[in-house]
Structure 1
Amino acid sequence: MVYIAGIITIALAVMIVLLLYHFRWSRNAIERSADMVLRNYKLRESGFKRIKLLPKLIKIINNPRLDEKRRVEAQKLLEDALWGRHNYPASVAAKALQDTGWKPQTVEQAIEYSIVLGDFSYVVAAGEEAIPYLVKKDPDNYVVREALARIGGPSTIAALHKHLQGLIRGNYTDLVVKQAKCLARLDPDLVAKTALENMNDRSASSAAALWVVLDNVSSRILERVLELKDIPVFSGGGFYFYEGEAHKIPTKLEGHFSVERLRSTARSILDQRSNR
């Protein structure tokens, strides 16, 4: 009996040693694999080359057998992916972070996170602090446009107005159209006043901004439009405002759009209002 008990004890000891070795080897293998993923991700500069590694970063974050240091590093890389030059990696990273319950830590993160997810709630929660960053984003973006409209207030209007003035003075007609639409949701008359003030110097961009809001401005503004003098509306860069949108058309058509179109439209709107 003693002999059998000894054999059983030795067998159990060997099994325990083998199990411990296997566990340690398995753990080391997982750690080595994680380290390789983290290292390879950092070495790949292209967003497209990193796409295949994003799911592996997510696995590292969700693996309880890995230490905190590796999991935190993987999450930091996912956060950095939000600022990638390519939309797909940023989208994958944002959704993965959302699944982990991650929350933006800064206003910049909240904006990028919201834009990628298509959810403006994170930006709106940041309030007026987000305004200086939002006005620099593409005003044609749904999240940017909705967030600015919902935050609203004097600070938002002032920031959008200042940005619109800069675009008009730079004669960036296509960008003016987008920015004017954004500000028009809060104060269409302010857009029109800004356009009228710059009409002589920056005809194309001013006409673009004015046309965007013409249907929604006050009658007093429309009467000012009727007083405009004939000015050829053109831009040396070839960007024109025509039929309510910014288009790039042949340079030979410079001056095609005249202020008379603004006046006739304003007159028509005033007539409709008087007949109501």
Structure 2
Amino acid sequence: MQPVDVFAGNSPVILGVPHAGTYVPDEIFMRLNDTGKALADTDWHVDRLYRDLLPGATMVCANFHRYVIDANRDPAGASLYPGQNTTGLCPTTDFDGLPIYLEGQAPDPAEIEERRIAWHAVYHAALAAEIERVKAIHGVAILYDCHSIRSHIPFLFEGKLPDFNIGTNGGTTCAPQIEAAVLARTKAAEGYDSILNGRFKGGWTTRHYGKPEANVHAIQMELAQCTHLATEALPFDYSEERSARLRPHLGLILSDLADLAGALNSTDKKTTRGDHHG
């Protein structure tokens, strides 16, 4: 199993999909307990949900499961949400706080480093290469990081999670126009609720790559899984009916981002010229 699949397109928009993969090498899978083997914390079917929504969009998909290593965590192991319950670079518990390994079978630091090199680093090398390729074509790249999570997880948050959870790390990872456009689309989506920089403010990927001053904009979308799954428990089946209602809203978001790229690039060039002559 190769760590990552890249579907390269010519749009300024890149879709990152770090958590839809379900591959766990046998030598790791056999060390998981029954809770871990359920792979319940997968971003189920997110690649399918976004596929073909925006013509020419690039998609970078991690094929490995987050229990192997989490491609959306700081490779140095720093917490995304200090002081809050979360899972780490190589999770040893699930989103409910339950152990996922058999006793004594969790990875040690040496194994975590091996996994980082074999999986995490390969995914991010591919993602970084696509960002640079797209930026070379358009002068700007917009990374839209695709996620989903169960809508009720008391260990992580109270009550039901909003349907659309937009993360820009407090507005630092993208131009204000991008944040505003995505929020406007989610607020206008009838029958759905949304929040900006709520419980999920953007993971390591969004924070690492989002450098508006360098013409790379990043935004994370965490969807509550009730928006597109038939059930938020095994077997986590994809709902054609729910997805058919959701996909047009996602398509409008991506289309807006593609349209904004040209305007942002034009603005950036004008700013650069003004600075040069000033």
Give TM class, smaller chain: under 0.3
Q: Which has the higher strand share?
A: 2
Q: RCO higher in 1 or 2 (8 Å CA, sep ≥ 6)?
A: 2
Q: TM-score, with normalisation over the residues of structure 2?
A: 0.22
Q: TM-score, with normalisation over the residues of structure 1?
A: 0.22
Please identify the structure whose Cα radius of gyration is greater. 1
Q: Which has the higher helix share?
A: 1
